[in-house]
């Protein structure tokens, strides 16, 4: 009404008000002009370091920001909010930006949203998520962050964002009492030719071994080479031939290609990419980030909250260390120092001294291969950083396997596959298979177990998708779905003792006596796919 009076007065001064009309077009043009002026003013204030003044300039609600300015408005507000310590508000601004970004930029934007949310303590994240209105674009990300921490959601996700709500399982056979419900026809896409063929063969053998080990109704399974004509062509052929569930592919590039397209049949991807699985599909991987998170949780559960993190140039190690840092910070702990070792050694003592770490820390986390770890451990003691618990990732097994040399690692704990420590239902023991099946020994052992659990998920995907609280014990760990289609894996724990790896007394999924692994199972390189 006020705008109408102003326009009417202006019209009277010009000679009349009879034809004055308030139209949306000119008003929106004026709003765009006002928003542009605010954006320019905020940029000027931000350049002077006046973040509060810059934020005060950007006073439009998100739904009032003209579409033409969103790509500049929301990133600026996010930067300013982060500078002023409002990480949740910054994440919310980036969430408004997400729908208008191209796929590559959207992936980077989502990673930043996740990183901002990871900084928040549990109570702060829960309370802030509860204030978000229905339909707010940040809520799915906040819900995923809460679920990963095992926290309750303020309200349920919309059905279209829940895995169970999207699975077309109505024509699958009826579930059994424990939730066992595989479809009738399954297609598995794996690299059976090319450079990834050894990895594909190990996963295939694990899948088939577990499939044969099941005594109940089993689906028809058909394998397709994802490398011959490409993963997309293999998926389309599998669908045309009647598959009700497609498992695979294995490489990140192939998974990203399928996730970006139309998926008329649910997909259980065997790798993780930046984009979340489409509704109705899921992803499963042995990602190094998962081990960083698991190590952080284990230390924090023991009250060890101030940690020194040490890693090398290995990409897997760096990814584990980054995930470890984010998890510790999210849970209110503190990575007091991060030490990136330069080169393969042999002398790290100067780097350790230069890190500035005093005596005020509780534990050491390392994401290193065995040769570097063996050199580091005695040097920690030499510079006064010894005598604390040391947690590692399974990368510590790479380049190891010599009990005489590996005595330097005694006492170190790391996440391990339960199958490597003890027999898993439906599978022969790791020791038995390593002597009979080449794909189940050495580098292939982890991938073999991974394939076995791909079958387990085939059988229980519908069951797990109905609640994030449900889990099934597998060869790689306790498996559950986080509500967004990502398989979460809780590993077993092992430790070095006498230069050999043994089950950690309080860490195995199934309590047991200390048991030595089969010879040759310690020395494994990291997973030969992304």
Handedness of CA 170, 174, 178, 183 (dihedral sign): negative
At 188, list the tokens: 């598995």
> Which is more confidently placed, 149 or 362?
362
The pLDDT tens digits for 292-308 are: 999 999 999 999 999 99
Q: Which of 397-411, 483-497, 504-518 comes out lowest in average pLDDT?
A: 504-518
> What is the structure's pLDDT at 207?
98
Q: Are 199 and 250 in contact (CB under 8 A)?
A: yes
Q: Give residue for tokens 């045309």.
A: 240
The pLDDT tens digits for 487-496 are: 989 999 999 9
Mean pLDDT of 247-266: 94
The closest alpha carbon to 34, from 82, 85, 71, 68, belongs to: 68
At 309, list the tokens: 């993190």
Q: Which of 309-318, 497-506, 511-520 comes out lowest in average pLDDT?
A: 511-520
> What is the structure's pLDDT at 170?
63
The closest alpha carbon to 224, from 213, 212, 236, belongs to: 236
Chain-centre distance of CA 499, in angstroms? 32
At 100, list the tokens: 């208008």
> What is the structure's pLDDT at 507?
45
Q: Which of 31-40, 212-221, 477-486 comes out lowest in average pLDDT?
A: 31-40
> What is the structure's pLDDT at 104?
66
Q: Which of 25-39, 156-170, 428-442, 452-466 comes out lowest in average pLDDT?
A: 156-170
Mean pLDDT of 423-441: 92
Separation of alpha carbons 91 and 166, rounded Å? 27
pLDDT at 525 over 70: no
> What is the structure's pLDDT at 470?
84
> What is the structure's pLDDT at 48?
86
Chain-centre distance of CA 323, in angstroms? 9
pLDDT bracket for residue 443 (50, 70, 90): confident
Give the chain's largest Cα–Cα span.
100
pLDDT bracket for residue 152 (50, 70, 90): confident
> Which is more confidently placed, 401 or 200?
200
The pLDDT tens digits for 79-134 are: 999 999 999 999 999 999 988 888 667 778 888 998 899 889 988 999 999 999 98
pLDDT bracket for residue 184 (50, 70, 90): very high
pLDDT bracket for residue 165 (50, 70, 90): very low
pLDDT at 516 over 70: no
At 146, list the tokens: 């809460």
> What is the structure's pLDDT at 5?
35
Among 51-55, 157-161, 386-390, the range with the most confident prediction by mean pLDDT is 386-390
> What is the structure's pLDDT at 257?
94
> What is the structure's pLDDT at 145?
83
The closest alpha carbon to 267, from 249, 242, 240, belongs to: 249
> What is the structure's pLDDT at 150?
66
Q: Which of 20-24, 54-58, 368-372 comes out lowest in average pLDDT?
A: 20-24
Mean pLDDT value across the chain? 85
Separation of alpha carbons 67 and 219, rounded Å? 50
The pLDDT tens digits for 63-86 are: 888 888 899 999 999 999 999 999
> Which is more confidently placed, 479 or 530?
479
> What is the structure's pLDDT at 171?
79
> What is the structure's pLDDT at 167?
53
């Amino acid at each position: 009404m006020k705008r109408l009076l102003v326009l009417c007065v202006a019209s009277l001064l010009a000679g009349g008000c009879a034809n004055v009309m308030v139209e949306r077009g000119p008003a929106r043009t004026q709003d765009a002009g006002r928003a542009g002026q605010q954006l320019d003013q905020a940029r000027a204030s931000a350049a002077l370091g006046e973040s509060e003044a810059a934020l005060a300039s950007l006073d439009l609600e998100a739904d009032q920001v003209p579409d033409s300015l969103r790509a500049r408005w929301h990133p600026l507000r996010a930067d300013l909010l982060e500078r002023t310590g409002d990480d949740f508000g910054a994440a919310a601004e980036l969430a408004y930006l997400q729908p208008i970004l191209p796929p590559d930029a959207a992936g980077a934007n989502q990673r930043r949203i996740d990183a901002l949310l990871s900084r928040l303590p549990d109570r702060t994240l829960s309370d802030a998520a509860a204030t978000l209105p229905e339909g707010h674009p940040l809520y799915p990300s906040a819900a995923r962050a809460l679920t990963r921490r095992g926290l309750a959601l303020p309200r349920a996700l919309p059905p279209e964002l829940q895995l169970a709500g999207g699975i077309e399982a109505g024509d699958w056979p009826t579930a059994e009492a424990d939730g066992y419900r595989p479809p009738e026809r399954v297609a598995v896409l794996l690299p059976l030719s090319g450079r990834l063929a050894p990895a594909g063969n190990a996963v295939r053998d694990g899948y088939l071994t577990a499939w044969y080990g099941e005594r109940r109704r089993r689906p028809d399974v058909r394998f397709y080479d994802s490398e011959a004509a490409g993963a997309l062509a293999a998926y389309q052929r599998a669908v045309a031939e009647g598959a009700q569930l497609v498992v695979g592919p294995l490489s990140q590039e192939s998974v990203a290609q399928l996730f970006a397209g139309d998926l008329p049949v649910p997909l259980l991807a065997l790798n993780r990419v930046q984009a979340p699985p489409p509704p109705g599909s899921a992803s499963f991987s042995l990602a190094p980030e998962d081990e960083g998170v698991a190590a952080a949780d284990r230390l924090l559960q023991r009250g060890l909250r101030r940690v020194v993190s040490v890693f090398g140039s290995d990409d897997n190690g760096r990814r584990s260390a980054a995930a470890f840092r984010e998890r510790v910070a999210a849970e209110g702990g503190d990575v007091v120092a991060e030490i990136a070792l330069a080169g393969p050694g042999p002398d790290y003592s100067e780097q350790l001294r230069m890190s500035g770490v005093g005596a005020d820390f509780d534990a050491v986390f390392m994401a290193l291969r065995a040769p570097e770890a063996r050199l580091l451990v005695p040097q920690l003691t030499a510079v006064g950083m010894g005598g604390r618990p040391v947690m590692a990732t399974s990368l510590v097994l790479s380049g190891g396997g010599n009990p005489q040399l590996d005595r330097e690692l005694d006492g170190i704990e790391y996440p391990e596959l339960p199958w490597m420590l003890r027999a898993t239902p439906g599978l022969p023991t790791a020791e038995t298979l390593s002597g009979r099946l080449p794909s189940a020994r050495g580098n292939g052992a982890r991938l073999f177990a991974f394939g076995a659990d791909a079958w387990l998920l085939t059988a229980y995907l519908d069951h797990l998708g109905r609640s994030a609280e449900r889990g099934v014990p597998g060869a790689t760990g306790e498996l559950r779905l986080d509500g967004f289609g990502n398989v979460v894996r809780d590993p077993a724990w092992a430790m070095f003792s006498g230069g050999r790896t043994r089950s950690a007394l309080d860490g195995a999924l199934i309590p047991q006596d200390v048991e030595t692994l089969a010879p040759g199972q310690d020395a494994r390189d990291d997973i030969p796919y992304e």
